[in-house]
A and B are shown apart, each in its own frame.
Chain A
Amino acid sequence: MKFIFKTVLTSFLLFTLYTIFLFAFPKFQNHLTTQSWWQENKIKAENFYFQKQKSDIIMVGTSMSEGLKLNPDKRSALTLNFIGGSSLTGLELVKRSSLLPKILIIETNWLERPLDYNLIADVTSTGFEKIISITPSLLESNKPANVLASMMNLGPSFIDNKKEKEHFIENLNQKIKAENEHIDIESVEKEVKNVATLVYYFREKGVQVYLMELPMHKELYTTKRFTATKLTVNKFLNEIDSIPKFKTQPLETSDGYHFTTASKKIYINYLTTFLNQL
């Protein structure tokens, strides 16, 4: 028992020392070297929820919206997208934060994906907010491994983009195959209904809501998954305005879904122009 007591006490001491270190050297807090997509999502959620990032425009989505940083005139904007996640998770987080924007843009390409309960529960659990205000050591971005990596000034691991392009068709075919496998229409409807419930909640609160279907590779529009999702979106969210489709020029993706850097810039400009007209 003496051993256990000594160990637990020392661990609390270490925890306190680490908290003091973070307060003493704030430059090591909230840096950008993330360990994984999962961590990136959590950091994004925590930053939004705990730092009370109130914005006029919030865009919720998946990895397809990654890097779509909007900069409309005289209004602030925030992209709350979750890699491998869903727009629903972003919507739920906005609702729980009570930081309602004036305009809400919802990416609809993967609207059938379920809510990430674990992420929401981790970030919004009762009491956690108070603990975080006392000790930042429990924030995802302040994990000792992240702090150490930021001290090392490491860049991202090398990925051969040329080879990645060579695999484009191979990858695309795999994705099309996966999207044409068994589709559970009931679960698609269930998730889109959940989105619809939140959309109408936001509309009641005076938020302008827009649906946004991001451009993808042309062969991905005809998959069973996308067709089912689109039909369900039309069924449950037909009253909601949509951002007009981008038709000016063909946009390129790196893997069928995600914009190349050049196309991303073009689409950001397009969205910004649209928002400025509102």
Chain B
Amino acid sequence: MGEFAYFILFLLIVAFLLQVDFIFYIVYVCIGVYAWSRWYTPRGLQRLEVRRRFPERAFYGEQVDVTLEITNRNRLPLPWLQLHESIAVQLRAGPVMRRVLSLGGRKTADCTYTIAGRWRGYYRLGPLRLETGDLFGLFPAQTGHLAADYFTVYPRIIPLSQLGLPSRLPFGTIASRQRLFEDPARPMGVRHFRSGDSLRQINWKVSAHTQELMVRTLEPAISLETAVLLNLHSGDYERRSRLNTVEWAIEVAASLAVHLVNRRQPVGFMTNGVDPLQGTTAAASTFDEESGRLRMQRPFGDQVGQRTLTLPSIIPPRNGRTHLMKILERLARIESDDTISFNQWAPNACLHLSWGVTILAITAAGDEATCHTLHRLVRSGFNPILIVVEPDRNFGHVRQRAQRLGFAAYHVAVRRDLDGWRRPLWRQP
């Protein structure tokens, strides 16, 4: 369409030379249309405000509405505006978001589409490509972009009701059958005074009322300060089923963390996997073209023997929903890799933990080396519990070995194995 400029020039020359006044009118109209198309199209795009509104996190299986709010700050309308939002394949819950709309002057339009959290991960949402152009095709279309946002899908959480994990820490909030750990903040009733009862336990008001010495009875309670130790060293998992088993291990870790936080227990999290976002920003990260998930970046000098991978930072045990979100976000991003073996990593990782902390060690198999590592933790004053996530026909041997070495072992290879922990409380024996 570059011929149009030459045409206007030709018209001008003819009009000047032959002095046909009306040709000037045509020239003015042509110049007007040409100038408007050249000036207004980029300006219309520049004065466009686009915002993406959506909840940045979603649970597994949840559907989320993403709204694109487009505001035209010009007084004049934008005849057409094409939108194309890049959405990760694993998030799509319908057709691709490609729309074209017209926007009036100083008007706002909303475009809403739905995404679904089908797979845990840290996803990129966007970028949004905006395209507009003049009405006559005199100039190429103008494009703009709205930077990408990021969306986290938490791992699947299996609701648990009763874990039955033992603890050595008194004065917590979980009821215990060990009378040793009676919690003065949890009065249960009164009984007659017996010899040996502490004078501080006497309920003086009730004693005065009944004219007999009565003592308070307290509900025993423990504190289950827990650290989830997730082994994501790829070498420890069977190659064939590694992908599924790793995901399962992450789901188990997430379910345990959620359950404990719901019971108001402090939970920490440690892993020898890799967090792709560790030490970098989302904008600088690379995302998988197919799935749209955050992709792990190999560090510089990634050769055998020269690995410089940094493990994700330790999340110390704390309670509260905010802390849980932090753990779940980490679990959403984490990937297994050939980092450092569990037996080398676990003792050092637990160094900063307090005495008596329950360590939920989630790992692929309960081999002898793993059991010995956990035994070392027992000897260090921790309360390790082994949770094996790979199918193991001889898990009885592992359990016996664990018993001998002073810790409990559970086999949670499939979802059915969690049924014992998912049973409602009133059906517990």
On whether the two chains bind one another, the answer is: no
Enumerate chain A interface residues (CB-CB to B < 8 A): none
